A and B are shown apart, each in its own frame.
Chain A
Amino acid sequence: MSKITSLADLKKKREELKSGLDIRVKAIDPESVVQVKVAMATCGIASGAKTVMEFFLEQLERRNIPAVVTQTGCMGYCYAEPTIEVKLPGEEPVVFGFVDLKRADQIIEKYIKTGELVDGIIPVNYQSIDFKE
């Protein structure tokens, strides 16, 4: 990694990264692929998030679905762990709770493949701040 030596440098870097959060890894536009985020805080891991994440990594590849699977912190729905967020290209993200391997399979087969929603959605009930300098 090269050092960031000035604020201008950092801003440039941010612009590069913003345009494609995962371009480095996948060399494709993340907006064009399915993005799966698995909540991996202590509570998530305790209730099996690791297994779910491995399942997504393995199955999405096996089923030939271009996707980025990442981990993230606590989404705040500790009562519904394991929790994942799925963002299909051009759609609003959807959060699913209580994701065991069976539900994970349904999510891939129905929601990811055909856009058909499945039970277990957790309505998002917050907003985050947006940064504008």
Chain B
Amino acid sequence: MSKYSMHLLVCGGTGCHASESDAIVCNLRDELEAKGLVDSVQVILTGCFGFCEKGPIVKVMPDNTFYVQVKPEDAQEIVDEHVIKGRKVTRLLYKDPVSKESISDSKHMGFFKKQLRIVLRNCGFINPENIDEYIARDGYQALGKVLSEMSPEEVIKVIKDSGQRGRGGGGFSTGLKWELARKSVSDEKYVVCNADEGDPGAFMDRSVLEGDPHSVLEAMAICGYSIGASSGLIYIRAEYPLAIERLKIAINQAREYGLLGNSIFGTGFNFDITLRYGAGAFVCGEETALIHSMEGLRGEPTVKPPFPAESGYRNKPTNVNNVETFAAIPAIILKGSKWFSSIGTEKSKGTKVFALAGKINNVGLIEVPMGTTLREVIFEIGGGIRGGKKFKGVQTGGPSGGCLTEKHLDTPIDFDNLIAAGSMMGSGAMIVLDEDDCMVSMAKFFLEFTVEESCGKCAPCRIGNKRLHELLGQITEGKGTLEDLDRLKNMSLVIKDTSLCGLGQTSPNPVLSMLENFREEYVAHVTSKKCPAGQCKSLMEYVINAENCVGCTACARVCPVNAITGERKEAHLINAATCIKCGACMEKCKFDAIFIR
């Protein structure tokens, strides 16, 4: 049995792998072999450290030394100096970009401090199907504290002072919303958890419900106590069977312990929670539509006011909050408003969960303090762009948000900064785009979603978005004009101004932001009929480079429409008029003579 005294962890993530981490592993192993150390020092290939910008990474355990930008030829020095003599190789240490000091211990690196889990504090930590594990992690302590030691007004004050804003998209002050619901006078009130999560690319709500359902139940009860409600409803889409299952288990366990039901903690406060299933329409996430859907009516939005806080479910005062908003509440109660408001930016407090998707190395779920920059999220935590491609843009806020570019990378992410940059926070889905993504096609793709999901109640959204989508389609086919670009913009502005609900009011955002930030790409499509990203099929042209072509005829033989002509052993030619752009010839050519223009 071998027991190693030292571990050399070498990053084998995509980024570092591309920059020779394999060779580093080999050299380290060879060096150790030569020095007779293979039995006491082990070299291990790991997953991405998320620090690809400074890769390849080598981390030495147990002293947590973090070497960056290691080259294969550094292996000898690491072994001679660090492993044998116990001296750190200073030139390979990470230098703090601000203080310029070398940092030898990874625990002190800014990067590892960048994620902070409040909402996800228990996700991946406890068994969500076992209430005891939640209790062991301080679960239901906040509810106990609220019921035994605080008045509803005090609870609302803590939430207000914490500066928390709703995570469902709008960013409205949670404490203020609770206060409005508390002030409405009624014999009956409701607490609703919005777990509809219709935003494509978003899965943070699902993850919280699957990983830590009790945190949401506990928060809903706290909210019920604060506003004077005894019923809670969770509106969840039927497409989330696992989250539903876990919620059911959690509700039953909480009832068995008396943490839901009558006279909770013996205080006379009653609160219980039931589930309502949604059919999975995006618009049903909008709070008025959601309420209608729960009442058994069509899930269509209605004009606000009246706001749900005055007249919501069954015309009673109703407080609607998002899953993530609720999940942070117990932490705020236990740790206090000062603690929460010390995290984040001036007007956006706390942390935000983001679902990273698209052309990024570390697709997944992260939670960072508000004010973290897009660059930190994409390049440090997200591990940078997949396949070493160039970053082009990031769509934040899902299909109703906007696409930000290189010049926005150092923007601290918060509600107001994203809006100022022409996008929005939305639910927190981030879709990263690289050089191969065409911005006209992307806008068209997002519009497709809107057209499909529009409830059809009002004309600007129903008809306007359809027209927008058609226009974008024409542009991708090379049938657009410069005037069409103006038309796109005007139509977008009208749809935004005249739609009834948030869906229509935000749907043209991707078009507007892409027109603004990537105008040259749109212009290329309509004037020179070129797609700079090489995605739009109609705008591609297959051409043969006569210099490389040896006249093997392979291409001509596979062309389904006989678009290729040429004599044996002589350069061939593609007839652009007949070519249907199937790409078969390019695949066949062994001489790299065919390319796309």
Q: Does B445 contact A (CB under 8 A)?
A: no
Chain B residues positioned under 8 Å from A77 (CB to CB):
47, 362, 364
Is there contact, CB below 8 Å, between A73 and B124?
yes
Is there contact, CB below 8 Å, between B365 and A14?
no
Chain B residues positioned under 8 Å from A118 (CB to CB):
44
Is there contact, CB below 8 Å, between B259 and A4?
yes
Interface residues on A, range: 35 or more
Residue of A7, A114, A123, A132 touching B145 (CB-CB under 8 A): A7
Is there contact, CB below 8 Å, between B135 and A73?
no
Q: How far is the CA of A4 from the CA of B203 in the complex (A)?
A: 33
Chain A residues positioned under 8 Å from B208 (CB to CB):
73
Shortest distance in angstroms between A94's beta carbon and chain B's nearest beta carbon? Answer: 10
The residues of A with any CB-CB pair to B shorter than 8 Å are 1, 3-7, 9-11, 13-14, 17-18, 21, 24, 37, 39-43, 45, 70-80, 85, 97, 113-123, 125-129, 131-133
Render B206-245 as a binary contact track against A, CB cut-off 8 A, 1 for contact. 1110111000000000000000000000000000101000
Q: How far is the CA of A77 from the CA of B254 in the complex (A)?
A: 29
Chain B residues positioned under 8 Å from A127 (CB to CB):
112-113, 115-117
Q: Does B34 contact A (CB under 8 A)?
A: no
Chain A residues positioned under 8 Å from B115 (CB to CB):
125-127
Nearest chain B residue, comparing its CB with the CB of A74: B207
Is there contact, CB below 8 Å, between B206 and A4?
no
Render B83-117 as a binary contact track against A, CB cut-off 8 A, 1 for contact. 00000000000000000000000000001111111
Q: How far is the CA of A7 from the CA of B141 in the complex (A)?
A: 7
Is there contact, CB below 8 Å, between A14 and B124?
no
Q: How far is the CA of A18 from the CA of B47 in the complex (A)?
A: 32
Whether A128 contacts B1 in the complex (CB less than 8 A), given A13-B135, A45-B242, comes out as no
Is there contact, CB below 8 Å, between A1 and B207?
no
Residue of A1, A24, A41, A73 touching B257 (CB-CB under 8 A): A1
Question: What is the interface size of chain B, counting residues whose CB is below 8 A from a CB of the partner?
Answer: 76
Q: How far is the CA of A14 from the CA of B133 in the complex (A)?
A: 9
- What are 23 inter-chain pairs, A to B, with CB distance below 8 A? A3-B257, A7-B141, A7-B145, A9-B265, A17-B133, A18-B136, A41-B206, A43-B203, A45-B242, A73-B122, A73-B208, A78-B364, A79-B361, A85-B124, A120-B46, A122-B47, A123-B49, A125-B381, A126-B115, A126-B117, A126-B366, A129-B331, A131-B335
Residue of A13, A42, A117, A126 touching B242 (CB-CB under 8 A): A42
Shortest distance in angstroms between A51's beta carbon and chain B's nearest beta carbon? Answer: 16
Residue of A6, A7, A41, A79 touching B363 (CB-CB under 8 A): A79
Is there contact, CB below 8 Å, between A114 and B118?
no
Shortest distance in angstroms between B138's beta carbon and chain A's nearest beta carbon? Answer: 4
Q: How far is the CA of A125 from the CA of B66 in the complex (A)?
A: 13
Shortest distance in angstroms between B263's beta carbon and chain A's nearest beta carbon? Answer: 8
Q: How far is the CA of A129 from the CA of B334 in the complex (A)?
A: 12
Is there contact, CB below 8 Å, between B135 and A41?
no
Nearest chain B residue, comparing its CB with the CB of A118: B44
Task: In the A-B complex, list the 5 residue pairs whose CB atoms are closest, starting with the nearest.
Answer: A73-B211, A126-B115, A75-B124, A3-B258, A7-B144
Is there contact, CB below 8 Å, between B118 and A4?
no
